[in-house]
Structure 1
Amino acid sequence: MADALPFWKTKTLAQMSRAEWESLCDGCGRCCLHKLRDEDTEELVWTSVACRLLDTDSCLCRDYPNRRDHVPDCVKLTPKKLAKIDWLPPSCGYRLVQEGRDLEWWHPLISGDPATVHSSGASVRGRAVSERAARDLEEHVADWPGEWPEQPAR
């Protein structure tokens, strides 16, 4: 008997339980990097500057349940909002599932290990600058957060 398909292949994003939804996040921290948008062209530019709540070692929010109390413009992702957002990295689990694609090998739901997002090079660990240490966001413009992660040999 074949194994049952995982929930992200059988449910829509709107059908997922809260726990299933939350588990789609691979913990890379890329969405927690500041982005700049040109007022005239609407062009999006990534930076390597992390939100002040992002622990740049674990790549997790220091106060996820209360994050909007500290960072009022922090976006709470929902299936409805996801359809309108253009700034999630290409390797984001939410984005992949929305696009009908599978999760990557480093995703904890695939690998069974939350550390693979870091060992794969997909996370911001070792590359993000703390918001408190950064001066000008423009000084930290970076392409890598908006690109597909370079893959080391497995």
Structure 2
Amino acid sequence: MAEAPFWRVKTLPELSQAEWESLCDGCGKCCLHKLEDEDTGEILYTRVACRLLDIAACRCTAYPDRFRLVPDCMDLRQVLDRFQWLPASCAYRLLSEGRPLPEWHPLMSGAEGSVHRAGKSVRGLAVSETVVACIEDHIIEGLGDAV
């Protein structure tokens, strides 16, 4: 009998650093600027990406130094109880809510880049914050909702 994958038997706090990192599907959605509606608390996604995001690769260009270079970059391991701002498709959020990983997730598909082929990344959608004058002009509907 095959052993169950680590994400099915461990809680998020129990994961090793390597396991934690492997949960990231590389979509880049967490690197998009988000706004919160003051009246409803709804999280509004924008297509505006952190200046450190390589939009084509959907990866941080300065991952080891991201917290120093971008002070409001969140360390997800420090906010395990506050994942509601992450997109519904995010593995960290899905697992924290007791839901399975989608079939296009690289851990499920066995293929790096499956997130892009499934159209679940910000590739082709995001623009860098370095070229945007008004972030509110770049709000997009539904990005955080779809799994």
Q: In which range does the TM-score fall when normalised by the shorter chain? A: over 0.9
- Unpaired runs of 5+ residues, structure 2, are none
Paired residue for 2:75?
76
Helix, strand or coil: the match of 2:143?
helix
Preserved CA contact (<8 Å) 1:48 1:145: no
Q: 1:78-117, aligned counterparts within 5 Å?
A: 78=77, 81-117=79-115
Provide, for residues 78-115 of structure 1, a one-character-per-residue CA deviation record: whole Å limited to 9, x for no partner: 1x512123210000000111111111111111111121
Displacement of 1:40 in angstroms is 4.3
Give 1:19's aligned amino acid: A
Instruction: Kindly state the Cα deviation for residue 34 of structure 1 after the two structures are TM-superposed.
Output: 0.2
Alignment length (residue pairs): 147
Give the corresponding residue for 1:20: 19
Residue 65 of structure 1 is matched in structure 2 by 64
Unpaired runs of 5+ in structure 1?
Answer: 150-154
Tell me what 1:152 maps to. none
Find the aligned partners of 1:61 and 1:84 in 2 and give their Cα distance. 22
Q: Which amino acid aligns with 2:5?
A: P
Q: Distance in 1 between matches of 2:15 and 2:65?
A: 22
Ranges of 4+ aligned residues in structure 1 off by more than 4 Å: none
- Superposition TM-score, scaled by structure 1 size: 0.90
Q: Please tell me the residue identity of whatever aligns with 1:131.
A: E
Task: Determine if contact 2:44/2:139 at 8 Å carries over to the other structure.
Answer: yes
How far is 1:75 from its partner?
Answer: 0.1
One-letter amino acid matched to 1:33: L
RMSD value, Cα: 1.3
Number of the residue aligned with 1:10: 9
CA distance in 1 between counterparts of 2:41 and 2:107 reads 34
In the alignment, residue 68 of structure 1 is paired with which amino acid? Answer: F
